[in-house]
Amino acid sequence: MNEKVRVLISEEEVESRICEMGKEISEYYQGESVHLVSVLKGGVFFTCELAKRLTVPVSIDFMSVSSYGNDTKSSGVVKVIKDLDEAIEGKNVLVVEDIVDSGRTLSYLLENLKSRKPKSLRLCTLLDKPDRRVTDVHVDYTGFAIPDEFVVGYGLDYMQQYRNLPYVGVVEL
């Protein structure tokens, strides 16, 4: 690995923002419980930190979808690699994702989940690159809107590396 990683959002900034998001989300679901659908693999780090900041009852499930496959970019077809373990019918589902980029993955995922009749369905992402959007996606909670740069850390990878960085950084090749 010869790449350098420049810090874009420090560990302290990420964590204090997640704290704020936790408060906002807890207020929204006051008196209800929330079922987190964490998108593997990148969404896991954010999901864990966010879940710790929620004060309403929380359950968690995981789903894995392919986003950058061979035909994905052109066709917008997304493949489910690992489905949820439990049904979501009647639940307040909050999808927790690392980043919304083109929006293709999320728009597919949200449609897919919607068809399973949850009580409510919302989307929470740590990072958003609005300039890159190809498919319209309604994001309910965004940690940080970032410029169009390739980022790693806090779950995000470059060739499966750097997910474990405690901050968000830009890879300089």
Encoded one letter per residue, x for contact with ligand IMP by CB under 6 A and - for no contact, window 13-52 reads -----------------------------x----------
CB of 92 or CB of 105, closer to ligand IMP: 105
The SS3 assignment for 155 reads coil
Q: Determine, following the binding rule CB under 6 A, whether residue 150 of this chain makes contact with ligand IMP.
A: yes
CB of 152 to ligand IMP, least distance (A): 6
Pick from 156, 165, 168, 169 the residue near ligand IMP by CB under 6 A.
156
How far apart CA 19 and CA 27 sit, in angstroms, is: 13
**Catalytic entry in 101, 136, 148, 157:** 101
Measured N-to-C along each axis, helices 11-28 and 43-52 cross at an angle, to the nearest 10 degrees, of 60
Amino acid occupying residue 77: V
Q: Determine, following the binding rule CB under 5 A, whether residue 155 of this chain makes contact with Mg ion.
A: no
Question: Can you say how many angstroms the Cα of residue 72 is from the centroid of all Cα atoms in its chain?
Answer: 19
Residue given tokens 């010869």 in the structure block: 2
Residue given tokens 């560990």 in the structure block: 11
- Positions marked catalytic: 101
Tell me which residues touch Mg ion (CB under 5 A): 42, 98
